[in-house]
């Protein structure tokens, strides 16, 4: 079976894994994304059995939360609130919900936590569909701490790109998710800088590796893509005197009706964002990082932004040349 494009998240935590080769199933046809039935046939996740449903209204967007059969320790209204919080972070960042309708299939699974979030565009009659597993013993505190639901929804806001540009789909989700949650008042900004300073180097090219379009390891795909987004955001804000950042470009993209339901190439996608910000930052940066390894000088970047780590504590240097850029990245647009 050849399912449409999907974005998945490796079970390994975002912070924990190092450079693991990305399974082919993550990058293309998703034969592994169906579930075997007792009769040996496979059923795609959007046709899995539904034991109950809830509905969330986000402006004009309609979200349907479907529950697979099974028991969950957390009451259903709390699970719906978890999905709603993620949707609110999306609306905060993008100014609108990126698709008119979405369906989230919550699948009970053994254990604790939130895992195996996977998102598809234009399947089962909805523009965006996410299948996400919840451990039966998952606690309310774990749900309140979760990032994965927001990560999956950030995928809704970018067209489906060719396999070689999967890094932008994942990198954007890794980069935007915590910023959207900070802007929505759901997450502490310092924790995001701490994670970025610790994890961004995982996306650097290793000896012998190529550019983002060439080397499809876990590190290059998730953190290499996120590094591209951070560098794009900082460069944009620098060039426009902080009038525009990546957020303004992405808002224009969503405003023009682009979403995961559409298949697009990367260049027109980046050009649309560039046009909105009156720059050529994204297309220029892409040209410099697509084939060549192009490592990023993160130490220099943190210094310029005025952010550092003292043990586990994040410190800010307000006299740094790009301190205003650092603050603007996390400021909710007026």
Which residues here bind Zn ion, judged by CB under 5 A? Answer: 7, 9, 170, 173
Nearest distance from C-beta of residue 151 to Zn ion, angstroms: 5
Nearest distance from C-beta of residue 297 to Zn ion, angstroms: 26
Measured at the alpha carbon of residue 229, what is the angle toward residues 201 and 265, in degrees to the nearest 5?
125
- Give the residue among 149, 202, 146 at the shortest CA–CA distance from 15: 202
Residue 192 CB coordination number (10 Å): 19
Nearest distance from C-beta of residue 308 to Zn ion, angstroms: 29
DSSP track, 157-190: TSPBPPGGGHHHHHHHHHHHHHHHHHHTTSS-HH
In this chain, which residue has its C-beta nearest to Zn ion?
A: 7
Strand partners, 52: 67
Distance CA 138, CA 140 (A): 7
Nearest distance from C-beta of residue 314 to Zn ion, angstroms: 25
Q: Which of residues 7 and 202 has its CB atom nearest to Zn ion in the complex?
A: 7
Residue 33, φ and ψ in degrees, nearest 5: -90, 5
**Cβ within 8 Å of residue 324, ≥6 positions away:** 242
Nearest distance from C-beta of residue 114 to Zn ion, angstroms: 13
Nearest distance from C-beta of residue 10 to Zn ion, angstroms: 9
Report the first-to-last Cα separation within the chain, whole angstroms.
46
Distance CA 125, CA 180 (A): 27
């Amino acid at each position: 079976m050849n399912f449409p494009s999907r974005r998945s998240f490796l079970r390994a935590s975002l912070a924990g894994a190092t450079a693991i080769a990305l399974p082919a199933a993550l990058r293309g046809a998703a034969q592994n994304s169906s579930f075997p039935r007792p009769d040996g046939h496979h059923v795609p996740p959007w046709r899995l059995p539904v034991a109950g449903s809830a509905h969330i209204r986000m402006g004009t967007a309609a979200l349907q939360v479907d529950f697979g059969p099974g028991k969950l320790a957390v009451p259903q209204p709390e699970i719906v609130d978890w999905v709603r919080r993620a949707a609110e972070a999306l609306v905060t960042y993008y100014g609108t919900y990126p698709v008119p309708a979405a369906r989230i299939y919550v699948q009970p699974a053994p254990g604790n936590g939130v895992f195996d979030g996977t998102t598809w565009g234009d399947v089962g009659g909805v523009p965006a569909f996410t299948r996400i597993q919840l451990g039966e013993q998952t606690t309310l505190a774990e749900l309140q701490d979760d990032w994965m639901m927001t990560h999956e929804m950030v995928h809704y806001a970018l067209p489906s790109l060719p396999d070689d540009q999967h890094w932008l789909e994942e990198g954007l989700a890794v980069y935007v998710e915590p910023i959207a949650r900070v802007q929505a008042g759901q997450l502490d900004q310092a924790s995001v800088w701490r994670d970025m300073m610790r994890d961004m180097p995982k996306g650097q090219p290793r000896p012998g590796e190529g550019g983002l379009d060439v080397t499809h390891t876990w590190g290059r795909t998730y953190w290499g893509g996120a590094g591209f987004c951070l560098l794009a955001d900082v460069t944009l804000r620098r060039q426009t005197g902080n009038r525009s950042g990546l957020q303004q470009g992405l808002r224009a993209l969503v405003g023009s009706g682009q979403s995961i339901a559409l298949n697009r190439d990367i260049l027109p996608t980046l050009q649309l964002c560039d046009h909105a910000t009156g720059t050529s930052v994204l297309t220029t940066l892409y040209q410099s990082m697509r084939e060549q390894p192009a490592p990023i000088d993160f130490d220099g970047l943190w210094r310029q932004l005025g952010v550092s780590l003292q043990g586990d504590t994040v410190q800010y240097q307000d006299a740094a040349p790009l301190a205003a850029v650092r603050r603007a990245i996390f400021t909710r647009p007026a």
